[in-house]
Structure 1
Amino acid sequence: MPVIFKSKATGDLWMVSAHAQALLDGLNKRGDAAGILRVEEMAAALATLKALPDEPARDPDLDPDDEGVHEPRHPDPEQDGVSLRKRAWPLIRMIEQSLAANEPIVWGV
């Protein structure tokens, strides 16, 4: 199921739930339930999301010395070669626009 972020200042933002949860984890929010990012939380959220590394994380479950095809044991939203920082960009823009309009962002509603 996707997570749909909503704000009166922008259009809806649809995000794959694994990617949304990975971003929301860094903001100490849950993506599997209704949530809100209040205007007073947005500056800190922007700083957190903009500080994400721009390189995909390596999967510690893969043994680099093991030969053959490697399949991660646990799906990781960063393992497809796209960093969380890049995935965060639409949410960053939504937060910036919502902050400028003094409107909260909600999801799961």
Structure 2
Amino acid sequence: MLFKFKSLATADLIMLEPNGRRVLQIIGKSPDDSHGIVTVAQIPAAIAALETAVLADDAVRAAATDDDEGAPDDGRELPRDSVSLRQRAAPFIDMLRRSAAEDHDVVW
């Protein structure tokens, strides 16, 4: 399954299911709904939640590179060449910012 995010302010953004689910969970939306909306009023909180999650993911990755074993403390395996949350969330954060600037909701 794919998530297709739409806004009148930007081009469509397509994410694979695992990435879309993660982003939706971070912003407090249900990834199980096939359709949803992030209203203009909800966008600042969504951006803040994503930026907080990105910083936390960056910290885990930094700790993993310092650790001889390369694994975070919570037991998850972290491939060193994997795509970070920062990279995956950047297009969505940009979509949210541009949508807020033009007063448009984001739907999927």
Q: Same fold (TM over 0.5)?
A: yes
- For structure 2, which runs of at least 5 residues remain unmatched after alignment? 62-70
Equivalence map 1:7-86=2 (5 Å) = 7-33=7-33, 34-51=35-52, 52=54, 53-54=57-58, 55-56=60-61, 58=72, 60=75, 81-86=82-87
**How many equivalent pairs are there?**
92
TM-score (structure 2 length as normaliser): 0.74
The alpha-carbon deviation at position 102 of structure 1 amounts to 0.3
Kindly indicate which of the two structures has a greater share of residues assigned to helix: 2
RMSD value over aligned CA atoms? Answer: 2.1
CA deviation profile, 1:59-98 (whole Å, cap 9, x unmatched) = 7266xxxxxxxxxxxxxxx756222122100000000000
| Misfit runs of 4+, over 6 Å | none
The alpha-carbon deviation at position 23 of structure 1 amounts to 1.2
Cα separation, partners in 2 of 1:45 and 1:61, compared to 1, 3 Å: closer
TM-score (structure 1 length as normaliser): 0.74
- For structure 1, which runs of at least 5 residues remain unmatched after alignment? 63-77
| Contact 1:3–1:31 (8 Å) recurs in 2 | no
